[in-house]
Amino acid sequence: MLLHPNIRGIFKKIDEFLISLSSNALQVICLTEHHLMTEEIGNVNLGQYTLGALFCRQIYKHGGVCIYVSKDISSLMLLI
C-alpha cells in the first residue's frame, strides 16, 4: 500500500501524521511539499519507516518531496 499526501509542511504535523498512520499497513509513504531543508529532513522520525529518497529546494522556500519505505521492505530489499 502507498500513501501520497500533499503534507504542506510536515514539521509541526509529525505527531498528528503518525497517529493517522497507526491504523494503516502502509509500505511506502511519499510526502510532497514537506517544506524542509536538506539538513532538517534527518530530524523527521516516522517510526517504522526509513527515508528512501528526498528532494529539497535549495533556493526557494517550501516544496520538496521525500519517500519513506517500511523497514520491513527495506530489509527485504537488502537481501535481494
Per residue in 33-79, pLDDT (tens digit) is 999 988 898 889 888 899 999 999 888 888 999 999 988 875 555 54
Per residue in 13-31, pLDDT (tens digit) is 888 888 887 767 788 999 9
Give 7's DSSP letter.
Answer: -
Nine cell digits for residue 40 = 532538517
Is 11:36 a contact under the CB 8 Å cutoff? yes
Predicted TM-score of the model (pTM)? 0.81
Q: How far apart are CA 77 and CA 71, in angstroms?
A: 10
As a whole number of angstroms, the longest Cα–Cα distance in the chain is: 39
| pLDDT score recorded for residue 75 | 53
Residue 32's beta-bridge partner residues? 6, 65
CA-based nearest residue to 11, from 48, 50, 62, 55: 62
pLDDT grade for 80, boundaries at 50, 70 and 90: very low
φ, ψ for residue 79 (rounded to 5)?
Answer: -75, -25
* Residue 78 or 8, more confident: 8
